[in-house]
Homo-oligomer: A and B are copies of this chain.
Amino acid sequence: MTPVRKLVLLGTGLIGGSFALALKRARLVQHVVGVGRNPANLARALDLSVIDSASHDAADAVKDAEMVLLATPVGQMGRLMAGIAPVLAPDCIVTDGGSTKQDVAALYRTHLAGHLAHCVPGHPIAGSELSGAAAAQYGLFEGRRVVLTPLPETVADAVARTRELWQACGAEVFEMSAAEHDGIFAAVSHVPHLLSFAYMNALLDKREVAACLDFAATGFRDFTRIAGSHPDMWRDIALANRDAVAADLRANVTALQALIALVESEDAAALTAYIDRASKARTEWGDRSRKA
């Protein structure tokens, strides 16, 4: 496998930084340029050798790059794509780490219409509440999954190159359509985050909230861990994937209303069946994912 001559990170945070570190460890990148809006974060990335040079100018940075990774919140990607479009080398691979894929595909079409053959939308599944270059780590993608959602125009070579680099980071790589991706991640990622935010807000509206938080224990801790996630990122995700997200949130409202009816009617047998179905499925998932 040949190393990437020049990799440009548009967004030098946890995802971009960890991708760069993993490729450096595998000796699969020669020079990494970090682009970002926060000078302190870029300085830290240089200090930690996450990147080899820093720039505030995306268009300048991507000249003669072999690969560009968009690793900002999705809300910033359109502007960045527009900025680099005029200066990209013809065969430069442009990929991204966005958590939603239909909207990112639309951004590629709008801003990089002449370059679609080398655009490889992607989503590394490696969440963390941490952010910034200082949180980047060599092993972040070790054993994790990366989903690629190539456009109909994307050439096989660009997909294969992106795939082999993610594999070199230790990730298992999957391909599916953007719509399939967004449906799946609405269900198992976006909606749990939004349910956790909604639960916290309902709790904060209670008169006894201080005593409640004082006695909150391990169940609360795990259930709400994702409620501590980054507001701008999750606003972008919720809006970008709003159809799938809203449909799944409505299904949760329906499931809750059924549950409230069982509790209020004191239907013990039906309530046991309701809980048992959820508990069995979760336990089986836990057993399977421990084995995997």
Check A228–B282 contact: CB distance below 8 A. yes
| Interface-centre pick from A188, A189, A201, A213 (highest chain B CB count, 10 A) | A188
Q: How far is the CA of A282 from the CA of B196 in the complex (A)?
A: 10
Write out, one digit per residue, whether chain A residues 225-242 have a CB within 8 A of any chain B CB (1) or not (0): 111111110110011001
| Residues of A215-253 whose CB lies within 8 A of B | 215-232, 234-235, 238-239, 242, 245-246, 248-253
Q: Does A202 contact B (CB under 8 A)?
A: yes
Chain A: residues with Cβ within 8 Å of the partner, total of 88
- A235:B188 contact, CB within 8 angstroms: no
| Cβ-defined partner of A242 (8 Å) among B127, B230, B249, B264 | B264
Among B198, B212, B215, which residue has its beta carbon within 8 angstroms of that of A145? B215
Check A224/B282 contact, CB under 8 A, given A231-B275, A255-B198.
yes
Contact for A250 among B226, B260, B274, CB less than 8 A? B260
* Among candidates B144, B192, B199, residue contacting A219 with C-beta atoms closer than 8 Å: B192
A255 touches B127 (CB 8 A): no
Contact of A249 among B228, B251, B256, B282 (CB under 8 A): B256
What is the distance, in angstroms, from A244's C-beta to the closest C-beta of chain B? 10
* A138 is an interface residue with CB less than 8 A from chain B: no
The distance from the CB of A139 to the nearest CB of chain B, in whole angstroms, is: 14
B250/A285 in contact, CB under 8 A = no
In the assembled complex, the CB of A194 is this many whole angstroms from the nearest CB of chain B, namely 6
Contacts of A252 in B (CB 8 A): 198-199, 202, 256
Which residues of B have CB within 8 Å of A263? 194, 238-239, 242, 245-246, 249
Q: Does A134 contact B (CB under 8 A)?
A: no
Of A56-64, A107-115, A150-158, A265-273, which stretch is located at the interface? A265-273
- Asked if residues A222 and B219 are in contact (CB atoms below 8 Å), the reply is no
With beta carbons under 8 angstroms apart, the residue of B201, B225, B258, B266 that contacts A255 is: B201
Residue contact B255 to A253, C-beta cutoff 8 Å: no
Closest B residue, CB atoms, query A249: B260
Return the 7 tightest CB-CB contacts between A and B, nearest first: A200-B278, A197-B278, A188-B216, A202-B255, A198-B255, A227-B282, A231-B275
What are 19 of the A-B contact pairs (CB < 8 Å)?
A: A184-B208, A187-B203, A187-B208, A188-B216, A191-B199, A194-B259, A199-B252, A199-B255, A201-B255, A206-B248, A216-B285, A216-B289, A219-B225, A228-B279, A228-B283, A229-B279, A231-B272, A245-B263, A253-B253
